[in-house]
Amino acid sequence: MISLDGTPDYLVDRFLKSGVLPANGAFAKMKKYGAYAETMLPVNVASTGPSHIALFTGASPSKTGIVGNSFRSKDQPWDQPALSAFRQPLQSETIFQAAMRQGKKVMVLGGVSVDNLAPERKVDYMHMYPQAAGPSLLLNLVPTDAEIKIGENYFKLLKVDASSESQPVFEVTGKLKMPLYIYQTDSVAIVANSLQPVKQIIIDNDADLSNGFAASLSGSSWSTMMVRDKEKQYVSSIRILNTDAAHRNVRLFMSAPAEVYGYPDGFLQHLQQTCGYWPGEPENRKQTSGVISEDIWFEQVDRLAKYFRDLIIAGMQTNQWDLLFGYFSTLDDVQHRYTLRDQRQLDYKAEQGKRPARYASLIERYFQKVDNYLLDIMNAAPRGTNFVIVSDHGMIPVHTTVLLNNYMERSGFFVSRKEVKSFSSGTSAHIYINQSLIESAERTVYIKRLAQRLLLLRDSVTGEPVFELVADHEKQKELGLYHAAYSGDLFVSCRAGYSISDRLLSDVPVMVQNSFDPELFQQQQQAIRNFLVNGTMNETGRAVHGNLATMRQGQSIFYALGPDVPRKKLGKIFSLQIAATIADLLGIDPPGDVEMKGVFVHAN
């Protein structure tokens, strides 16, 4: 079972029809010889966390409690941070737990809710999707007079200059601060068929180079550094951004350290020996702010996509599994930044009107790359393997971000006074009323007034309400979205073209045209520029998810191939059918809260 995060079914159809996805590729092979759905409807709040949990449990958010990517509990103190779909305990059994309970071996390589937080969240063999654990570093380095000789090699110590944005300290927030010692030395490489010296950067986490070093790199190559602390493992990727003409001053980038966890230890060691260390995620804010270039951002995307492929193949070839789950974030990452199909998008006329076509070609390229990687995995699989390829949601082009807390504040519903606040999941949000401030007798009227006010927010071009839906508890129940402990007093979902930010920023308008290109908003006031430069992918992205299941562009894929898969076009199916489908292929009972039968029950 492989999830291709953020893959819309209509784009796969379009690319197969146009030949962007080749006739001998993985998608074409599955469509010709296996089963595929016309579309797969995700659960409401089609965002990464709740959608994957629904795929794994076969249960709607009303049962799992995962009602958004971020949300709150009615019992938590008002000022506590939001709860996360990725870390929150589940209230429903997953297909992984159901399979293990029935004697099957399970391997999960990057699945939501499969991590090191609790014993019940582990499986037989696993590689947790790594968690960012500290700040990234941007170091401007200059030579010092200090030099060390080891054997025949000289190592010149580097230090940061006054312009350096960071200090050379490997930091895991609240747990570890480790000084870094960075040196420059000559190595030898073959250039133009002759041996020539190449400047090499050496990084160590102690002052003694004679006992080895933590990482080395040169030119435009990437390196990784792994640090152990109290039985935990943290990995950072490192790249030289540029050097001056004399190769003396060096600008060095180190990605945010990520906590890497695998179980059992020997399995993680096998994966790392076979695939290398976790390469890190693409640094979106660093690209927006100009710290890293577009080319380097795509290097990060490429490294991570290849790592996902290699992990699946390495895990698969151990033959220690009956059910293996693998994951690719690639298409989600690329579409968030490069979807440009709406003429109202701020970027639409950029590059003399050529940007939409350029961005479209980049998205096509990565659909092709993922298609190739799926084919690699299929070709490496043991005989008799059944494949189920799904996505959690699609992608909706966005031209405007709504600062929902700003709108409520300016409408007399005071976020600043702790009366009310929203938690966004991209194109939707839960809104919570502070029950300790708003008495129960007043609450119904307060909620009704707020709902009416939300419906008054209008699209400046079409005049239509920005919010397609403003739902109280009763309407949330109809959507499978109401959970007594976690759902908001109101739930809102935007029309296509809008995303929601839950930041409260008094000097930023309620609605802001979004972009990741600072040149396009450089004439805006500083507060708007700061808001956009610091925007997250699911807040100010050029495409966002978190939509209602009925929104066509936000719907998902289902493809399957294997000896137990019928050759069949399935029409419209639901993500709540996937857990039962996997159970059917394994010959086991589905998870305990599954709400729908598998897709192949009537397929023959």
Q: Could you read off the pLDDT of 448-479 as tens digits, one per residue?
A: 999 999 999 999 999 999 999 999 999 999 99
**Contact in structure between 557 and 500 (CB atoms under 8 Å):** no
DSSP 552: G
Tokens of 61: 């958010």
Of 241-255, 371-385, 515-529, where does mean pLDDT reach its minimum?
A: 241-255
Q: What is the pLDDT of residue 134?
A: 94
286 pLDDT more than 90: yes
- Single out the residue of 131, 411, 116 nearest to residue 281, CA to CA: 131
**Contact in structure between 420 and 434 (CB atoms under 8 Å):** yes
Residue type at 107? M
191 pLDDT more than 90: no
**Percentage of residues of the chain with pLDDT beyond 90:** 91
Q: Mean pLDDT over residues 42-52, rounded?
A: 96
152 pLDDT more than 90: no
DSSP 130: P
- Single out the residue of 371, 280, 363, 470 nearest to residue 31, CA to CA: 371
Give the 3-state secondary structure of residue 136: coil
Tokens of 234: 């943290």
